[in-house]
């Protein structure tokens, strides 16, 4: 995939650059570069490496009527490719570290920090647009006996299954996170209380599949769901929104579990 381009060349030049890069990767070249004619252009390509592994390529092109490439030109392109290889590796490492810092290792979902950073941005945006979103807290019921009876490997299996379940059916703009332990959260973008309730009921139905992994028939696995719809007007902080959703979820936990509760703000 082309990352950057400067200037204008023959329309066939990008394809020629890709073919040249593939040739260098498969067959190599003692000069480290390959020259290819593409329409009215001549394309010179060198691949970039890091620790002997190809990670990119750089190409330049000229019109066939222009002066031919010299050995100095080829040497300069190889030098640029070497620098590009280092730069690409640094970018990849940075993006990997950023992804790891924002992701829960077990489930692949957003972690607590990344989730609430994103939710804060959504809430601020909705204040400007007059739209609402819903914060949903999901807590596993009777999860501790699974670890106690079957071990943490089975517990991890339950957490991963729930992560998949919560992610299914989400839309562009929705967020799913594992906040820690057996506590998860969703942000449902631009939803009414009615829509959010329908989603929560769907989650409750899906969570019945977790019963098969329960440690005790008398204490089956399930989920408790607490929700809070953000205010479209007013000055409710993100902490206050979180407190509402958390309060609703614990209302369910203390009221029999495996149910849904909604905590409305005073304005709502």
* Distance linking the first and last C-alpha atoms of the chain: 49
Mean pLDDT for 32-61 is: 86
Q: Please say whether the beta carbons of 163 and 184 come within 8 A.
A: yes
Q: How confident is the model at residue 98 (pLDDT cuts 50, 70, 90)?
A: confident
Characterise 180 by phi-psi region: left (phi > 0), alpha (psi -120 to 50), beta (else): left
State how far the Cα of 198 lies from the Cα of 204, in Å rounded to an integer. 10
What backbone phi and psi angles, to 5 degrees, belong to 261?
Answer: -140, 145
Superfamily of domain 112-262 in CATH is Reverse transcriptase/Diguanylate cyclase domain (3.30.70.270)
**pLDDT for 150-165, tens place per residue?**
998 999 999 999 999 9
Q: Please say whether the beta carbons of 142 and 216 come within 8 A.
A: yes
Q: At what angle do helices 238-253 and 112-129 cross, to 10 degrees?
A: 120
Q: Please say whether the beta carbons of 136 and 188 come within 8 A.
A: yes
- In terms of C-beta distances under 8 Å and separation of at least 24 residues, what long-range contacts does 27-31 make, across chains too? 31/74
**pLDDT for 185-216, tens place per residue?**
999 999 989 999 999 999 999 999 999 999 88
Mean pLDDT for 254-264 is: 90
- Any idea what the Cα angle at residue 227 is, between residues 223 and 230, rounded to 5°? 155
State how far the Cα of 193 lies from the Cα of 229, in Å rounded to an integer. 6
Characterise 210 by phi-psi region: left (phi > 0), alpha (psi -120 to 50), beta (else): alpha
pTM: 0.69
State how far the Cα of 248 lies from the Cα of 261, in Å rounded to an integer. 5
Least confident of 24-28, 49-53, 145-149, 174-178: 24-28
Domains of the chain by residue range: 13-102, 112-262
């Amino acid at each position: 995939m082309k990352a950057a381009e400067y200037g204008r060349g023959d329309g066939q030049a990008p394809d020629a650059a890709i073919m040249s890069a593939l040739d260098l990767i498969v067959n190599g070249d003692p000069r480290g570069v390959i020259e290819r004619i593409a329409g009215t252009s001549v394309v010179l390509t060198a691949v970039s490496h890091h620790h002997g592994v190809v990670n990119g390529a750089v190409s330049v092109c000229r019109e066939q009527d222009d002066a031919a490439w010299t050995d100095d030109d080829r040497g300069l392109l190889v030098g640029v490719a070497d620098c590009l290889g280092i730069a690409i590796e640094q970018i990849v490492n940075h993006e990997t570290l950023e992804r790891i810092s924002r992701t829960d290792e077990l489930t692949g979902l957003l972690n607590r920090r990344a989730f609430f950073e994103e939710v804060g941005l959504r809430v601020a945006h909705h204040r400007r647009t007059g739209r609402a979103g819903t914060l949903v807290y999901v807590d596993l019921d009777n999860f501790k006996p699974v670890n106690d009876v079957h071990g943490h490997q089975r517990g991890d299996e339950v957490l991963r299954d729930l992560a998949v379940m919560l992610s299914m059916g989400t839309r562009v703009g929705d967020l799913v996170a594992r906040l820690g332990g057996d506590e998860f959260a969703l942000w449902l973008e631009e939803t009414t209380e009615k829509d959010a309730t329908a989603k929560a009921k769907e989650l409750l139905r899906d969570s019945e599949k977790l019963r098969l992994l329960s440690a005790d028939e008398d204490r089956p696995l399930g989920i408790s769901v607490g929700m809070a719809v953000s205010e479209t007007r007013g000055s409710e902080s993100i902490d206050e929104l979180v407190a509402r959703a958390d309060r609703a979820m614990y209302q369910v936990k203390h009221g029999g579990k495996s149910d849904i509760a909604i905590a409305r703000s005073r304005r709502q």
